[in-house]
Amino acid sequence: MKNIVLFGPPGAGKGTQADFLKDMYNLVHISTGDVFRFNIKNKTELGLLAKKYMDEGDLVPDEVTINMLKAEVEKNADANGFIFDGFPRTESQAEALDVFLAEKGEQINGMVALEVPEDALVTRLLERGKTSGRTDDTDESKIRNRFNEYNTKTAVLKDYFDAQDKYYGVNGLGSIKEITQRIAKVFDAL
């Protein structure tokens, strides 16, 4: 199995790239954001709880996110591997994912990080907010709060995966096709 963590700040293009890469490599794309939005749309208990945090631009608590992710992996037990998009976001989530995969005789092969300057990301998110229906993409102060959350809680994962020789930074600026080609070179080497 090939298990990849697709990493980067909000608006870096993780979801867009995952759509291409899942087909290229026959992997299952698990986007915590998509799963949360499904639960929000269907007004599940998890969805209502997640919406409260997301509307404030805060991260959903680890325990909720971890249990949701485990359920998604179990639903796709026969997969060739997974692209984890939006997970893990904290070191405790990364450790929980390592333990969960090890129980299945698997591991994370690599973390591919899309690297994009913050100002470019703000522009992308505000543009996405015009059509996405996501309240957290329409308010610059909420967007900046998400970056603060990312920088203080999530960016530390670079060190976590780098210590395992599994961190791969990729330039996230350019055309979608150019970025996909850069990521594919990393995937092919894993």
Positions marked catalytic = 14, 89, 128, 134, 146
For 64-90, b/e burial (b = at least 16 CB within 10 A) is ebbebbeebbeeeeeeebbbbbbbbbb
- Known binding positions: 11-16, 32, 37, 58-60, 86-89, 93, 128, 134, 146, 174
- Known binding positions for ATP: 11-16, 128, 174
In whole angstroms, what is the distance from residue 31 CA to residue 143 CA? Answer: 19
- Known binding positions for AMP: 32, 37, 58-60, 86-89, 93, 134, 146
